[in-house]
Structure 1
Amino acid sequence: MSIQVHTHITNHIATIAFTSPEHHFMTLELLEAIQAAFSKLARDPQVRVIILTNSSPGYFITHYSLDEINQHMQQVRKIKALTGPLFPVSVRLVMALSKAIVRLDRFPSVRNVIDRAAKYNFIETTLTYARVNRFLQQVRNSQKLVIAAIGGNAQGFGMELAMACDFRVMARGDYYLGQIESLIGLMPGSGGMHSLTRLIGEAKAIELSMLGSRLTADEAEQLGLIYQAVDEAELAEASGQLAEKLARKSPLSLSYIKQGIHKGHKQSFSQALAQDEVAFVDTASTDLAAKAYQNQQASQVGGKTINVAFDHQEASDINEE
């Protein structure tokens, strides 16, 4: 059985269900199939929320394929031996070149020429790496809200992908969430350490990354690393319910919140506030906000308390009002 990636859309919620026969490892082939589906949904104005999940029960992304990594490193070891102390500089320069080159991937004929020229070369490794990390950046920066529905091991790159999503719902079972790279002589290469630091703090990020500690769903929930731990049979329903809550809110509002939080930690408070000022005025001046205000006023005139009125707003679809 080859890799499979399927999508379906229901009530503004899109699900990307993927599976891989090779122990559910991530490979470049699987990643780019998921990315193609994600990119199409990201452009669909009817889609408000995207769920990423493995269609095979008991799995998510075990980790990135070590076979694929090792194949690439055979060429890299030769370069490392040749460049000696200049190796880090070499990597930095070739990675910068690769990030520029992969912008041409939207032209298939050009990409084919580049890939043939780079075959069995150092730059083949850096091109692959640039493509892998580009997808995580795409998920993180997408205006759509993204939920990882984790039904199995999410380790190494699997955890990094899950943390690039806005929400994580994980099933309880005999599997784990963890940055396990240190257990096999590596380090997290796709932002895992930085995501952990932002989500649960520096001390815990150091602990989990250095020790390669693996967490159950309940342990991850207690740390605040995931939104919800659920029984295995409830994963699809719980993820769907969360997606429905998000889909009922203003897509513009949630997009601004997502981007503001991601960008704000890099800025001074005054810079972040200046960014928020533009976003607030933009959202407050929409027809959706005006209708929501009118509904809130009508609820209070009708005798509902403020709290009851907000309960109604929470349960209603602001886009359909």
Structure 2
Amino acid sequence: MALVDYAASEGVALLTLSDPPANTYTHEMMKELDAAILKARFDADVHVLVITGQGEKFFCAGANIGMLREADPTFKYYFCLHANETLSRLEHTPKLCIAALNGHTVGGGLEIALACDLRIGRRGAGKIGLPEVALGVLPGTGGTQRLARAVGGSRAIQMMCEGKTFDFDAAQGYGLLNEVWDTPSHQDFMKRVLEYARGFAPPGRAALAVGRIKRAVQTGLEVGLEQGLALERELQAELFASEDAREGLAAYVEKRKPSFQGK
């Protein structure tokens, strides 16, 4: 049985972490997630990725503790290295990625969500946080770095050292979540997330521009201003040469709605 279910439709690839009850990840799941990210990256018909968890209780509760307890230190090191590479691959993919937080999002689960561009939670669905300190370890799949970039260094240190979890509304207040939605059911939540994701795909939105905005921000935040501006110019030049830019400019002049193709 697949540990990451993959389904693509109408420009959106849905990647579902599937190892109930808590959707904890092993090296096998990370390898499947890595492959799914690459599949979506190479699919010209996919413009947006959505990552969620199977069921209604957990997005992901992080790494499988039983696996880590039995593994030797060398395996643990390479397990963390590959998990970091997988999430970096997600971040580097020039397609928008949305984390649909359908349930508890803790430990490595939050680290996966932090590697996504947008995070949307279902109100009342669960808790969120990085409680690894209670195990005597730190968040080792990018948590110390991405959380600090999301909420600031001092707040991140406090969150991780206290190891507390909090609800999605509090997380939105901290800047961890972009949206928290009231939906009657899990099915309604996922339907709304997928509808939202399709809004970033053609024909209504220039997906190439969306992807390059993502790349400009993701890389630009890690370099100096001058290097970031240089990257921005290169990405803009690439977009100016695209069919979508020609369509967008023509539609503006002709006072009509553009119809983008993602090309």
Question: Shared fold (TM-score greater than 0.5)?
Answer: yes
Q: Do the aligned residues in 2 keep the contact of 1:207 with 1:213 (CA within 8 Å)?
A: no
Q: What displacement does 1:266 show?
A: 2.3
Aligned-residue RMSD, C-alpha: 2.1
What SS is found at the alignment partner of 2:160? Answer: helix
Relative to structure 1, the CA distance from residue 202 to residue 153 in structure 2 (aligned partners, 3 Å threshold; closer, same or farther) is: same
CA distances 1:43-97 after superposition (whole Å, capped 9, x unpaired): 111100111112212221012111122222xx43xxxxxxxxxxxxxxxxxxxxx
Relative to structure 1, the CA distance from residue 53 to residue 174 in structure 2 (aligned partners, 3 Å threshold; closer, same or farther) is: closer
Alignment partner, residue 114 of structure 1: none
Alignment partner, residue 20 of structure 2: 21
Relative to structure 1, the CA distance from residue 227 to residue 238 in structure 2 (aligned partners, 3 Å threshold; closer, same or farther) is: farther
Which among 269, 274, 277 is matched to residue 230 of structure 2? 274
1:126 to 2:77 alignment = yes
Alignment partner, residue 238 of structure 1: 192
Which among 187, 197, 208 is matched to residue 159 of structure 2? 208
1:260 to 2:216 alignment = yes
Q: What displacement does 1:216 show?
A: 0.9
Segments of 5+ residues of structure 1 without an aligned counterpart are 77-121, 300-308
- Max Rg structure: 1
Q: Do the aligned residues in 1 keep the contact of 2:60 with 2:108 (CA within 8 Å)?
A: yes
Q: Do the aligned residues in 1 keep the contact of 2:22 with 2:59 (CA within 8 Å)?
A: no
**Letter of the aligned partner of 2:179 in structure 1?**
Q
1:250 to 2:206 alignment = yes
**Letter of the aligned partner of 1:125 in structure 2?**
K
The structure in which a higher percent of residues are helix is: 1
Q: Do the aligned residues in 2 keep the contact of 1:50 with 1:147 (CA within 8 Å)?
A: yes
What SS is found at the alignment partner of 2:199? Answer: helix
Q: Do the aligned residues in 2 keep the contact of 1:62 with 1:152 (CA within 8 Å)?
A: no
1:51 to 2:50 alignment = yes
Q: What displacement does 1:258 show?
A: 1.4
The separation in 2 between residues aligned to 1:199 and 1:42, in whole angstroms, is 25
Between the two proteins, the alignment pairs up a number of residues equal to 258
1:158-177 equivalence runs, <5 A: 158-173=109-124, 175-177=126-128
The separation in 2 between residues aligned to 1:149 and 1:182, in whole angstroms, is 25
**Letter of the aligned partner of 1:151 in structure 2?**
N
Q: Do the aligned residues in 2 keep the contact of 1:221 with 1:228 (CA within 8 Å)?
A: yes
Q: What displacement does 1:272 show?
A: 1.1
Name the TM-score, length of structure 1 as normaliser: 0.74
CA distances 1:19-63 after superposition (whole Å, capped 9, x unpaired): 213532221122222222222222111100111112212221012
What SS is found at the alignment partner of 2:200? Answer: helix
Q: Do the aligned residues in 2 keep the contact of 1:3 with 1:18 (CA within 8 Å)?
A: no
Amino-acid identity (%):
23
Q: Do the aligned residues in 2 keep the contact of 1:48 with 1:251 (CA within 8 Å)?
A: yes
Alignment partner, residue 293 of structure 1: 249
CA distances 1:127-153 after superposition (whole Å, capped 9, x unpaired): 222222111111111122111111111
Name the TM-score, length of structure 2 as normaliser: 0.90
The separation in 2 between residues aligned to 1:239 and 1:225, in whole angstroms, is 17
Q: Do the aligned residues in 2 keep the contact of 1:170 with 1:226 (CA within 8 Å)?
A: yes
